Amino acid sequence: MQDGIELDEPRVSRSRRMWAATRRRWVPLVLVFASLVMGFTVTAHHSQALSPVDEWVYADYLYKLPQQVFVPRGQEIGPRALELMACTGVREYGTMGPACGSDYAAHLDKFPQGGISSADGYTPLYFVITWTGAKAIQLVTHTSLVEAARFTGAFWLAGGILLFYWMLRLLRIRPVVTLGLGLAVIASPFAWWTYTFISTDAPVFALGALMVIAAIKFVRGEWSGWWLPLIGAVATLFKITSILAVLLVALYLVLEFALRRTRERPRRRGFEWRNAVVGRGDDGYIVIAASTAIAALVAELAWLALRAAIAVGPAANQGVTGRMSLKDLGSQFVNFLPETIISNVNITGRTTLGLAIQPFIVQPLAWITIAGVIGAVAIYTWRKPNAPLVYSIAALAILGAPLLAIALSLQGTYFPIPPRYGAALLPAFLLAAGLIVKSRLSRVLLVAYPTLVLGVILVFAPNFA
């Protein structure tokens, strides 16, 4: 009997390991499938009416590719996008400009922004990738360029979810928790607006997750730290709001350096510049943190210089020349943490929202991020592993929106920061939630609730879209 038991135990452990490995593989497959189903289903039900989140100027950018790679400041919107605005219009607002079929070029003053594009602030990165994907989709579906470009959002979402899964797996978050958190993203109003229309926010969630992955890999000694400045610069060139993820990982590395030095205080070891310069060990944390922030800043300044050099006229007047008050600044401290995942579009002059889902259905998604960040800060004491990452997430959750607001104000313009601008931080918010979900009941609810919300989104897609 003893011999038999000794032989059975390894078999049991092997079967458990195989089952665990299979379950881990199923999680990303299920999440990718859910991403594609949500993206394709909702997008297919959209009318030709444009999203109020600047889809008009994004469509114009795509129409100008590949003959024109850059949209210079002050350039007029092309005839095809003008026709879209005059004949199809914008969701909830209707058509704008002169009558459909008229001479649009002769009546640019009747269009929003005087018919001048506001897409000049964006590099070609998102648009070139989306245009390429849209052309591939058109070979199969024969849809319009705008419709095909919208369908690429499903793939942006799936890619972001895969990076999100990788990030959570690095910290050994339970597969069922990862499944629930991934479904929460897919079912969210944020995903509805970002991944079913043409949106420059589409790459930002993925880039935020990738920044955290690279930082964790560097701290563990598995990746060179010099990947972080490269990724940070590219992320910023995709969209400036990605700089929030840059600030997050830079703060994480600084706090990780401080934690390790407090542990080593009795040794009183000096700063080893050789390790710092090559980005190795805890001495490299400060150098890599500074280099990442500088690389992102230099990339943005270089883009701004190029943008100014190729300008053909003054920027479009978007009506955002207001000044920021202290009250405005104060409201930004509670912006990203509760609102990013449930960010919706407020229709000017109305009490309705662009996505007409009842707020009580999606509000618990915000509770997940709030409880996750606050709970993680409460649980993780300074010397506990992952504490520097948790504290960095909490700091950017509070300071991210105010920092963007101040940056805008210093440029002489201000508008209330849309919660969707926190997309680069959303993977980190949910990571914090994943670190503290322990009980079986919480895990069950974490999967059941977003599954229910996703079901509502899919069933009522014709009504919402």
Helix extents (H) in 315-417: 326-332, 336-339, 359-379, 387-410
At 327 the pLDDT is: 86
Report yes or no: 238 and 204 within 8 Å, Cβ to Cβ: yes
User: How many alpha carbons fall within 13 Å on the CB side of residue 442?
Assistant: 15
How far is Cα 28 from Cα 166, in angstroms, rounded to an integer? 9
Secondary structure class of 315 (helix, strand, coil): coil
200's tokens: 């420059």
DSSP string spanning 391-438? HHHHHHHHHHHHHHHHHHHHTT-B-PPPGGGGTTTHHHHHHHHHHH--
How far is Cα 156 from Cα 201, in angstroms, rounded to an integer? 10
CA 256 to each of CA 207, 219, 253: distance values in angstroms, whole numbers, following the listed order: 22, 8, 5
How far is Cα 168 from Cα 242, in angstroms, rounded to an integer? 19
12's tokens: 């049991």
How far is Cα 313 from Cα 399, in angstroms, rounded to an integer? 35
Residue 348: closest CA among 87, 55, 52: 52
Q: How many CB atoms within 10 Å of residue 261? A: 16
Report yes or no: 352 and 112 within 8 Å, Cβ to Cβ: no
How far is Cα 30 from Cα 32, in angstroms, rounded to an integer? 6
How far is Cα 453 from Cα 465, in angstroms, rounded to an integer? 15
Secondary structure class of 94 (helix, strand, coil): strand
Which residue's structure tokens are 């059941």?
Answer: 448
Which residue's structure tokens are 């060179």?
Answer: 224
At 18 the pLDDT is: 66
How far is Cα 309 from Cα 381, in angstroms, rounded to an integer? 50
At 459 the pLDDT is: 95
How far is Cα 270 from Cα 276, in angstroms, rounded to an integer? 12
How far is Cα 379 from Cα 291, in angstroms, rounded to an integer? 31
Helix extents (H) in 49-186: 55-64, 79-83, 125-141, 145-170, 175-186
Report yes or no: 133 and 330 within 8 Å, Cβ to Cβ: no
How far is Cα 91 from Cα 198, in angstroms, rounded to an integer? 14
What are the domain boundaries of the chain?
A: 2-45+122-316+323-342+350-464
Please list the residues that pair with 414 across neighbouring strands. Answer: 321
Which amino acid is it at 325? S
How far is Cα 52 from Cα 350, in angstroms, rounded to an integer? 14
How far is Cα 395 from Cα 255, in angstroms, rounded to an integer? 11
Mean pLDDT by 10 residues, the chain (465 residues): 46 65 81 98 95 94 96 95 94 91 90 93 97 96 95 98 97 95 98 97 98 96 93 97 97 93 62 59 85 97 96 82 80 94 84 86 97 95 89 97 88 84 98 95 96 96 89
Secondary structure class of 43 (helix, strand, coil): helix
The DSSP 8-state label assigned to residue 353 in this structure reads B
Contacts of 13 (CB under 8 A, 6+ apart): none
7's tokens: 């032989």
CA 352 to each of CA 91, 356, 357: distance values in angstroms, whole numbers, following the listed order: 12, 7, 10
Contacts of 379 (CB under 8 A, 6+ apart): 435, 436
